Amino acid sequence: MEPVEETKTTKSGIVLPDTAEKEKPIKGKVVAVGPGKLDEKGHRVPMSVKVGDLVLFKKYGPDELEVDGKKYLVGEEGDIFAIIE
């Protein structure tokens, strides 16, 4: 997932402090997905998200890594709260 930065100023011009964002879910754009997990019987369960989806995910769920100076988050599908349409 590629994190999507949120603005820290409301539409009416109120600037929100960093502490207001600490526990909120993070918004990100899915840039790659795996094949899915195997169930108890060894059958592949397809992913419910696809490349390009905008998702909300747990702040502390995914691991952060940097590739060529760009920040990415790698996590499990269970870290995702919602797909935003």
In this predicted model, what pLDDT tens digit does every residue of 2-25 receive, in sequence order?
A: 666 665 666 666 666 555 555 566
pTM of this prediction exceeds 0.75: no
Sign of the dihedral through C-alpha 48, 52, 56, 57 = positive
pLDDT in tens, 24-79: 667 889 999 999 989 999 999 999 999 999 998 877 778 888 999 988 888 888 88
User: What's the pLDDT score for residue 45?
Assistant: 92
In the chain, the number of structural domains is 1
Residues spanned by the domain of 50: 2-6+15-84
Question: Which CATH number belongs to the domain containing residue 36 in this structure?
Answer: 2.30.33.40
